[in-house]
Structures are given as C-alpha cells and as structure tokens.
Amino acid sequence: MYDLPNHWGREGITYRWMGAGERFLDVGAGSGVLCEFMKEKYKEVYGCDISDEAVKNLKDKGINAFKIDLNNEDFPFEDGYFDAVSHLGVIEHVINPPMLVNKIHRILRKGGVFIISTPNIAYIKHRIRAIIGKSPSTSDDTTIYKGGHLHYFTFSEMRELLEKAGFKVVGCKGTFSRGVLPENFPLKNLLAAEINFKLIKK
C-alpha cells in the first residue's frame, strides 16, 4: 500500500483535507484504498460502487459497503447521516451531475465536509488536442468509449455547480502528474489535469 498521507494525488489530498468524525462515505469507492485509510479518522466507514466486484472487495476489507446506481437510485440513508463524503473521479460518469450533488448534500450533516475531484477539461493537453482537430479525452481507459466520461468540467463550472447545491467552497487545488497547484496559482486552469474541491455544507 502506498503512502497515502503524503501522496500528491486526489486520494492523498482528500486524506489530508479530511478531519475526523463518526461517519464517512466514499461515493464510488472502487478499490477501497481511501476507505481503508479513513478508518484512522472515522468510527464508521462506508463505501458504495456500481460494481459487484468492488462492493465485495470493500466488504472483505471490513468496510460498510453497498451497491448503488448513482443515475437511478438515491442513497439509503436519512438526511444528515454522514460527517464527511468524498466523490473522486466519478461525477464525470453520471448522467445528471446536479441531481447527484443534491443527493450528496442531503445525506451530509450541516457543517459536514464534502470533497470532490474530476478531470479538468481546460488542461493545456486537452486544449492542444482541440486546436489540432482532435476531441479532448480526459480518460486513459480504452475499454469503453471516452472512458465512460459523459461530462467535462472546468474549475469555474465545478464551483458553480457545487455552490448552487448549497455548498461553501473552503479549498481548491489542481493536481498534475508531478504535484499540486494551489487555488491562487495564476495558470491553474492551464496546468492542472484534475480539479479538487473541499466544501462545507451550509
């Protein structure tokens, strides 16, 4: 297992941004790496995924796991159930991003932390592809068309989406292949391959 607390990527940023509390949920938990580390900070750790294999793997690791289709189902939890929620590299796959963000807002307690990441379509690599007549691609997955990405976001568009859902932005960083860019970095939109936001539910 890699050194997540010091890792530059989205999981590392999420780990460092998260405080501690009672209940944590990773929406689209995949391999469960983040959930395993969050056991150090939260008494109850939950993970959900659309994949049966991923859910089984999460359960095998002692994580409270459940299967959910984010496009067609709501979370099986009461309002304000979680202290913190993460959603990393998944929102670009769902049909209706505003609806999903509203669902996450519902299950997060007031003052709770929400961390989200997604590829940055304004990244210079994608801009160059568009200039030379190629469609920008924000995924390296070749098993499905465009990596299964249905939507594309910039920093400003993601901020607008999150604020409309009732979240307050308290942190914003861009990541690229060798590090992290702070929110006030002047060329963040061009040089960040991925967008990362930390939010508080108002």
101-149 residue pLDDT tens: 999 999 999 999 999 999 999 999 999 999 999 888 887 777 787 777 8
Kindly state the average pLDDT of the residues 12-41.
95
Note the pTM of the prediction, 2 decimals. Answer: 0.92
Structural domain count of the chain? 1
pLDDT above 90 as % of the chain: 77
Range of the domain at 84: 4-201
Buried-exposed string 30-41: b where 16+ CB fall within 10 A, e elsewhere: bebbbbbbbeee
Q: Which CATH number goes with the domain that contains 175?
A: 3.40.50.150
Has residue 2 got a pLDDT over 70?
no
Residue 66: CB partners within 8 Å, gap ≥ 6?
Answer: 46, 48, 55, 76
Mean pLDDT on 190-201: 95
**Average of per-residue pLDDT values in the chain:** 92
How confident is the model at residue 61, as a pLDDT? 94
> Which token pair is 102?
């509203």
Is residue 27's pLDDT more than 70? yes
1 has a pLDDT exceeding 70: no
What does the pLDDT look like over 52-93, one tens digit per residue?
999 999 999 999 999 999 999 999 999 999 999 999 999 999
Q: In what order do the strands lie in the sheet with 21-27?
A: 64-67, 42-49, 21-27, 82-88, 108-119, 194-201, 167-176, 179-181
